[in-house]
Amino acid sequence: MTATLTNSRDAALLERARHVIPNGMWGHMATRAIAPGYPQFFSRADGCRVWDVDGNEFIDFMCAWGPNVLGYHHPEVQAAALEQLRVVDCGNGPTERVVELAELLTGTLDNADWCLFQKNGTDATTASVTIARAGTGKRKVIMAKGAYHGAVPWCSPSVVGVTEADRAHLMTFEWGDIAGLEAVVAEAGDDLAAIILTAYRHDVGRDQEMPTEAFLRAARAACDRSGAMLILDDVRAGFRLDVRGSWARYGVKPDLATYSKSIANGWPLACVAGSDRARDGADKIFTTGSFWYGAVAMAAALTTVRILRDTDAIAHTEAMGLRLRAGLDEVAKRNGFRLRQTGPAQMPVVLVDGDVDLRIGNALCAAALRHGVFLHPKHNMFLCAAHGPAEIDRAIEAVDAAFGDIIAAGFVPA
Amino acid sequence: MTATLTNSRDAALLERARHVIPNGMWGHMATRAIAPGYPQFFSRADGCRVWDVDGNEFIDFMCAWGPNVLGYHHPEVQAAALEQLRVVDCGNGPTERVVELAELLTGTLDNADWCLFQKNGTDATTASVTIARAGTGKRKVIMAKGAYHGAVPWCSPSVVGVTEADRAHLMTFEWGDIAGLEAVVAEAGDDLAAIILTAYRHDVGRDQEMPTEAFLRAARAACDRSGAMLILDDVRAGFRLDVRGSWARYGVKPDLATYSKSIANGWPLACVAGSDRARDGADKIFTTGSFWYGAVAMAAALTTVRILRDTDAIAHTEAMGLRLRAGLDEVAKRNGFRLRQTGPAQMPVVLVDGDVDLRIGNALCAAALRHGVFLHPKHNMFLCAAHGPAEIDRAIEAVDAAFGDIIAAGFVPA
């Protein structure tokens, strides 16, 4: 028998929310956009677990959609943040923390000579494009079709409220297609300011794809030839694959790299890290925000990045991801289904083979929720350092039970 | 004899910063852009006081450039934030706080039926323009020349790194000029999406100017005639003049209003509050950010807004501003100078009459720093509820002494 997921408080809150929040909730955390059955409101998080407002407990594989990299309420990170909060967060200027953090990051990240800090990933991607244009004096920006670089007019996945002019100088190509990239670079001619690429292809609803070294080298060479800036958008993957940045393993150096989500283990912060090649543009632009100098998030980032650098947190998380991947494959097979599990093990996309309309995946994830595991049917998920073998094995058992539930409900492999 | 301002730690940090941060610091908190003599780095804030990294203590009249409205470390606000932090800040979705805050704000702000929350003031102004375009299906946006609505390409005060296309549909007119506004509205024709206006004219380096009711009514009427949205950019002044929004006293209702700086007494948060007239556009757009659902800043905002609504905090702050204004006028006169003090008393701009190149004002503010008072020579300043008569009188004495210093250094009225 399927455990039931109580949701009376969630439903009541959603009803109140519909009056005072457009659609009841906006953006990527609007659960109506995920699949039926997901709770909208949460009351608690700890380690690798979250609790919804009805008290349902889940082993969490979304990690706040990325920010939680070490575990919710990581004691050392929280201690550093609270110690800073005791003296000052936002004052009339920054604190020593901004210098320490810029020094730590330039000493840790590949090809980073300087940093600027913001609050949103979108702040960082937007600033990096502005810096590239300021430094090169050129206008065209090339990105991969369907890649997510933020939610403002120049790059939003929705064009509602966006004018053609907002994207007049944006050019696209198919991720990974070297000839396609070369063609659009040629089209940009001598007006190419930047190529911006996510760390790897992590578009929603499809198999993830790691870059080939040849693809990254082609992008680097195109920028070198044309004087353009190569921007690594590491907002989603940064500090999860490699503390040096997600392209360090390929030996391909970005001129500008953007970080946010996991940089401070949940405290709001973003960063543009640039090389000296991009410093001139950074010197020239005006970019700022009321809370961008806040020291508490920087104190949290200092501790988070040091832990990621000095411990096996990333390797452990990857190992847990591999354990989950193997277990899910096995329970799927045992239940007569086949999974497509792609991307880094610590940022998995799990799709049911042949499930083109996601009907099976949605039902499976809804069933997994009822068995205490929070998965996502089409977006990449996130593991954190607080996941241990016990939680992974418990999650695999829950998915096994969820397969049983959907089979009992009449679902068959596509 | 002038007290000296030690700055060895500040200078050392600035030297380190120059290597790893473009220009040593970015944005509005880069003190090189204010005037010589200002410390760049701070170590502590409390109530209405800040301390720089060298331990110099100042009575603070910048309030973190706006966020500090009740006093740094206000105990009730901090308690609410910490209580929320104990359970969850960023989880897999928002908490009950988002509904409570949207209910509080729609019940408090004039003409607000719904809210969306973000992190930066720029997030709110950008989203409000996108909502206006989505709802109207039109493109043109009218703003006053020189008005500050954020630091991204569509509105940044700097055009470095900005393309013409970024502002293709932006039209400007001179603040307060009704005929000028009507002319640009006519030029926009049937393509007008929005008129966006700051609460009052608070451009840097000039006398502040309150709106006339006729001007606001003309903007409202133009939007009504054309189907466009009237956007109040209350990011800087919101919750400082009137808890209902800065135009409530004029009886002119915005369709969309943006808030940030002081909404959570220093915790990072922004808000678009809209009327039902603007809800359709808000329903349609996609806007989001990794930390926009964070509950800690919302818990802080709930307490901050309730205090501002239920106590005399705003009236007290205004009274302290008037006391400061009277005192400064008197000491200036006594020293043979004349001041131009404009705008709301709790957000004063203080300029020395005839001081076109700000030489006198810069020297006066640098001298005031040495006497323990943090002023700004050209940007509007901010008072907070933690300023009391003792601090105001102490500040007036310090400015009196600062006048003495600059007179001794040879400055004379312009």
Helix (H) or strand (E) holding A46: strand A42-46
- Verify that B316 and B387 share a domain, yes or no: yes
Q: What is the pLDDT of residues A130-179, one digit of tens each?
A: 999 999 999 999 999 999 999 999 999 999 999 999 999 999 999 999 99
Tens digits of per-residue pLDDT, A186-207?
Answer: 999 999 999 999 999 999 999 9
Judged by average pLDDT, the poorest of A2-16, A198-212, B297-311, B363-377 is: A2-16
How far is residue B37's CA from residue B45's CA, in Å, rounded to a whole number? Answer: 19
Q: Do both A53 and A107 map to the same domain?
A: no
What is the distance between the alpha carbons of residues A246 and A109, in angstroms, rounded to a whole number?
9
Task: State how far Cα A311 lies from the chain centre.
Answer: 21
Contact state of A288 with B27 under an 8 Å Cβ cutoff: yes
- Which residues does B317 contact at the CB level (< 8 Å), separation at least 6? B69, B240, B346, B383, B384, B385, B387
pLDDT in tens, B153-183: 999 999 999 999 999 999 999 999 999 999 9
Say whether pLDDT at B1 is over 50: no
Phi, psi torsion values for B146, nearest 5 degrees:
80, -5
Do residues A266 and A288 lie in contact, with contact meaning Cβ atoms separated by under 8 Å?
no
Q: How far is A157 from chain B (nearest CA, A)?
A: 8
Q: Give the pLDDT confidence of A378-413 residue by residue, as tens digits.
A: 999 999 999 999 999 999 999 999 999 999 999 999
Residues with Cβ < 8 Å from A93, sequence gap 6 or more? A293, B25, B29, B31, B39, B40, B41, B42, B52
Are residues A264 and A323 both part of a single domain?
A: no
pLDDT of residue A1: 40
Say what the pLDDT of residue B4 is: 76
Q: What is the DSSP string of A179-206?
A: HHHHHHHHHHGGGEEEEEEESSB--TTS
Output the pLDDT for position B399.
Answer: 98
pLDDT over 70, % of chain B? 99
Rounded CA gap, A35 and B178, in Å?
Answer: 50
pLDDT tens profile B307-363: 999 999 999 999 999 999 999 999 999 999 999 999 999 999 999 999 999 999 999
pLDDT at B2: 52
As for the ipTM of the complex, it is 0.98
**Residue B38 shares a structural domain with residue B112:** no
Q: Are residues B121 and B236 in the same domain?
A: yes
Is A180 within the bounds of a domain? yes
The answer as to whether B301 is a domain residue is no
**pLDDT grade, residue B3 (50/70/90)?**
low
Residue A336 has pLDDT above 60, yes or no: yes
Residue A3: pLDDT band (50, 70, 90) is: low
Mean pLDDT of A291-320: 98
Q: What pLDDT shows up at residue A408?
A: 98
Q: Which of residues 307-326 of A touch B (CB under 8 A)?
A: none
Are B327 and B399 within one domain? yes
Same domain, B161 and B279: yes
Averaged confidence pLDDT in chain A: 97
pLDDT of residue B259: 98
**Last residue of one domain, picked from the residues B238, B259, B292:** B292
Q: Are residues B171 and B238 in the same domain?
A: yes
What 3 state SS string does chain B have?
Answer: CCCCCCCHHHHHHHHHHHHHCHHHCCHHHCHHHCCCCCCCCEEEEEECEEEECCCCEEEECCHHHCCCCCCECCHHHHHHHHHHHHHCCCCCCCCHHHHHHHHHHHHHCCCCCEEEEECCHHHHHHHHHHHHHHHHCCCEEEEECCCCCCCCCCCCCCCCCCCHHHHCCEEEECCCCHHHHHHHHHHHHHHEEEEEEECCECCCCCCCECCCHHHHHHHHHHHHHHCCEEEEECCCCCCCCCCCCCCHHHCCCCCEEEECCCCCCCCCCEEEEECHHHHHHHHHCCCCCCCCCCHHHHHHHHHHHHHHHHCCHHHHHHHHHHHHHHHHHHHHHHCCCCEEEECCCCCCEEEECCCCCCHHHHHHHHHHHHCCEECCCCCCCCCCCCCCHHHHHHHHHHHHHHHHHHHHCCCCCC
Residue A81 lies inside a defined structural domain of this protein: no
For chain B, give the mean pLDDT. 97
The answer to the question of residue A85 being in a domain is no
Same domain, B35 and B143: no
Mean pLDDT along residues A274-298: 98
For the segment A202-234, what is each residue's pLDDT rounded down to a tens digit?
999 999 999 999 999 999 999 999 999 999 999
Domain-embedded: residue B83:
no
Name chain B contacts of A111, Cβ cutoff 8 Å: none
Q: What is the pLDDT of residues A131-144, one digit of tens each?
A: 999 999 999 999 99
The Cα of A73 is separated from the nearest Cα of chain B by a number of Å equal to 8
Range B277-288 average pLDDT: 98
Tell me how many residue pairs between chain A and chain B have CB atoms under 8 A apart: 325
Interface test with A, best of B46, B61, B92 (most A CBs within 10 A): B92
Contact A386, A311 (CB under 8 A): no
Give me the residue from A85, A116, A286 closest to B158, CB to CB: A286
Of B29, B103, B161, Cβ closest to residue A285: B161
User: Is the Cβ of A138 closer than 8 Å to some Cβ of chain B?
Assistant: no
SS (H, E, C) B343-380: CCCCCCEEEECCCCCCHHHHHHHHHHHHCCEECCCCCC
Per-residue pLDDT tens over the stretch B8-61: 999 999 999 999 999 999 999 999 999 999 999 999 999 999 999 999 999 999
pLDDT tens sequence across A73-129: 999 999 999 999 999 999 999 999 999 999 999 999 999 999 999 999 999 999 999
CB contact set of B273 (below 8 Å; sequence gap of 6+): B105, B106, B109, B112, B114, B115, B245, B256, B257, B258, B259
Structural domain harbouring A357 = 8-72+312-408
Q: Which CATH number goes with the domain that contains B386?
A: 3.90.1150.10
pLDDT surpassing 90 at residue B374? yes
Whether A64 and A207 map to the same domain: the answer is no
pLDDT confidence of residue B196: 98
Which of A58, A99, A233, A384 to probe by mutation at the B interface, max B CB count within 10 Å? A99
Count how many residues are written for chain A. 414
Distance (Å, rounded) from C-alpha A229 to C-alpha A47?
39
- Residues B111, B242 within the same domain: yes
A4 band by pLDDT with thresholds 50, 70 and 90:
confident
Residue at which a domain ends, from A292, A320, A344: A292
Q: Which residues contact A274 (CB under 8 A, 6 or more apart)?
A: A112, A113, A114, A115, A116, A128, A131, A255, A256, A257, A282, B22
> Is A33 within the bounds of a domain?
yes
CATH number of the domain to which B201 belongs: 3.40.640.10
d(CA A162, CA A155): 10
**A24-42 confidence digits (pLDDT tens):** 999 999 999 999 999 999 9
Give the number of domains in chain A: 2
Could you tell me if residue B414 is inside a domain? no
Which residue, of A259, A292, A325, is where some domain finishes?
A292
Pair A57, A122 in one domain: no
B13: in domain: yes
The dihedrals phi and psi of B375, each to the nearest 5 degrees, come to -115, 175
A132 membership: H or E segment, kind and range: helix A121-136
